[in-house]
Amino acid sequence: MSTSSPTSPGAGTGAAVRTTRGILRAALVIAVLVLLAVAASAVASAVQTVRTGVVHTSLEMRGSLPAEADAGPADLRSGAYRTADVTVSGLSDGIVVMHVVRIALDASVGIALAATVAILARRLLRPDPLARRLSLVVTLAGGTVMIAALCSLGMRTGVAWLVGGELNDPAAGLEGFWPVVAEVDLSTIALGFALMIVGLVVEHGERLQRDTRGLV
């Protein structure tokens, strides 16, 4: 007599199972809605950027806090502005194209994450969630997130440098108001790497399932 295949948390009956299936269905619907929202927002933003040539971005800056920043009883020992949200027009076409590419890369990260959640929720609603190569989906999603985040970081840095350079007085160069630097955030890249690790763990579970099928 062969052993039965592992069942998903959403299989079976009972109040706990119904609650689990409800949570999984809600996660599936929310993930799909987030995916569509991210895609629609990215398309709208890219079209608006191409049509107007206006770039919305964040730039590093140097600036001290005003005197009224510590008008209350507390004593502000130090402080400074680190970033500024700017809207810039009249930029070179190359900068606009780079910004549109960055929008697409940022959107691909959100779409990959939302799609992964949707696929996982849908698989867990099935009686045998490991029947197909779920690990491949998770690993590919992690790789997509990591690569897209890395490329987006490069594009974001390049856009910040070039926008700052075009806003500064050409005679001032690197000593202008906008320093030619950019903030580096590696959290999304780390998230993609973590997803790839999860994919390897799921692959191990799939291998164990294949090895135990047919055992007496």
| Per-residue pLDDT at 177 | 73
| Per-residue pLDDT at 35 | 95
Per-residue pLDDT of the chain (216 residues; tens, 9 = 90+): 444 445 555 555 567 778 888 998 999 999 999 999 999 999 999 999 999 999 988 887 766 777 777 777 787 777 777 778 889 998 999 999 999 999 999 999 899 889 888 988 888 887 665 555 777 778 888 888 888 888 888 888 888 888 888 887 777 655 667 766 666 667 777 888 888 888 777 776 767 766 676 554
| Per-residue pLDDT at 31 | 94
| Per-residue pLDDT at 2 | 45
| Per-residue pLDDT at 1 | 43
The alpha carbon of 102 is separated from its chain's Cα centroid by a whole number of angstroms, namely: 12
| Per-residue pLDDT at 107 | 93
